Amino acid sequence: MDAKPRLLKVLDVASIALVVATTLLVLFYAPMERVMGAVQKVFYFHVAHAWVGMLSFIVAAVAGIAYLRTKNMRWDIVGLATVELGMVFMLIALVTGSIWARPIWNTWWTWDPRLTTVTIMELIYAAYLMLRQGIEDPERRARFGAVYAILGAVSVPLTFFSIRIFRTIHPVVIGNSVPGAEGGFDMTPKMLQVFFFGLIAYTVVYFDLLWHRIRMGRLAERVEQLKLRLSQ
């Protein structure tokens, strides 16, 4: 019941290899950006993690819809797993975004649409977890989690648009008001290669970790059921 499936072991090895490869590519293959210097390389990790954070969000909403339709607890386990992972990846994306901004625009934060939307997504993730924490009944917890994941996912594109329209009328006032506040630099072909490699690599890492977290969720469910049975 608990043996690690062979495919998962393969995925583990692949994930580690891809992360190592990405790091090496970023450090040694990608060229140094003319103006920003070394810190621009943080960008590759920043975007990869933000992408995974967004992917998690979509998976959470899909799992929510699946749960509401099938009432199968399996989907609830997926939902919780992906939200937890999403929070971690988004957090890394947020902090690296801030680190990238600091030497370039002399500010730890820019209110540009992408970074702001990422923050709001992180807050929705946290709210999801807090909602679950406050509910005892597993079935209701799953149901409410599913509903909130769907609401959250629907709101995010709207949030992004609203801030985007806001920004085109009010350019960034805090820090540098250069219109390139969204991260303007031209990417050479080598940069693009590393960029996409990073995205793919971390997508694989995401699915690897998701599988692990789902297995842990199933284990937690088994433990809960044992406890319930023994207390009767």
Distance CA 51, CA 14 (A): 19
Q: Which residues contact 152 (CB under 8 A, 6 or more apart)?
A: 57, 60, 61, 121, 124, 125, 127, 128
CB of 96 to other proteins, least distance (A): 5
- Residue 173, burial from CB neighbour count under 10 angstroms (0-12, 13-18, 19+): exposed
CB of 24 to other proteins, least distance (A): 12
114 binds other proteins, rule: CB under 8 A: no
Stretch that binds other proteins, among 4-12, 44-52, 173-181, 188-196 (CB under 8 A): 44-52
Determine contact, residues 187/36, Cβ cutoff 8 Å: no
130 binds other proteins, rule: CB under 8 A: yes
Determine contact, residues 201/22, Cβ cutoff 8 Å: yes
Among 35, 106, 184, 186, which residue interacts with other proteins (rule: CB under 8 A)?
35
**Residue 123 or 200 with smaller CB distance to other proteins:** 123
Size of the site for other proteins (CB under 8 A): 67
Distance CA 147, CA 142 (A): 9
Site string for other proteins, 192-221 (x = CB under 8 A): -----------------x--xx--x--xx-
Q: What is the DSSP letter of 137?
A: -
96 binds other proteins, rule: CB under 8 A: yes
Q: Which two tokens stand for residue 225?
A: 């059921």
Distance CA 110, CA 170 (A): 13
Distance CA 12, CA 70 (A): 30
62 binds other proteins, rule: CB under 8 A: no
**Residue 69 or 177 with smaller CB distance to other proteins:** 69
Distance CA 69, CA 84 (A): 22
Among 144, 195, 207, 211, which residue interacts with other proteins (rule: CB under 8 A)?
144
Residues in contact with other proteins by CB under 8 A are 2, 23, 32-42, 45-46, 49, 68, 88, 91-92, 95-96, 99-100, 102-103, 120, 123-124, 126-127, 130-131, 133-136, 140, 143-144, 146-148, 150-152, 154-155, 158-159, 161-163, 165-166, 209, 212-213, 216, 219-220, 222-223, 226-227, 229-230
